[in-house]
Amino acid sequence: MVRRAYIERVRDGDVSLREACDAERDLLRAARHYGTLRRTPCPLCAKESLRNVTYLFGPRLPKSGRCITSSSELREFDRRTEHYTAYTVEVCTECEWHHLLTAVPHGGARPRVRRRA
């Protein structure tokens, strides 16, 4: 709903395209190299260059987070006891539109208790 309202504000001219399409260089690079291609066109430029990029934040990760390049990499973090948050952002590599889609918790697995034989 928030996404749709923001897109309408851009289309109505309340928000400039320049302001709406301001993805940072690192986010664009991650989208081009590691992003998952979406089947829908960009809501602003209508080109088929929309990609999803996931960044993970949490303990022992860089302040800027870690770009997740595969689902198996994310599953590795699910097995850890620490708590992480994965943010998925849609990014248009053509017009540089970006929008946060989801924030999902990961990790927090219970440590296994070894039983004595």
The pLDDT score that the predictor gives to residue 117 is 63
- Measured on CA atoms in the order 51, 96, 68, 83, is the torsion positive or negative? negative
DSSP-derived secondary structure letter, 103: E
pLDDT beyond 90 at 61:
yes
pLDDT beyond 90 at 48:
yes
User: What confidence tens digit (pLDDT) does each residue in 63-110 have?
Assistant: 999 999 999 999 999 999 999 999 999 999 999 999 999 999 999 887
Spatial separation of the C-alpha atoms in residues 87 and 104, rounded to whole Å: 7
Domain edges within the chain: 22-107
Give the global pTM.
0.84
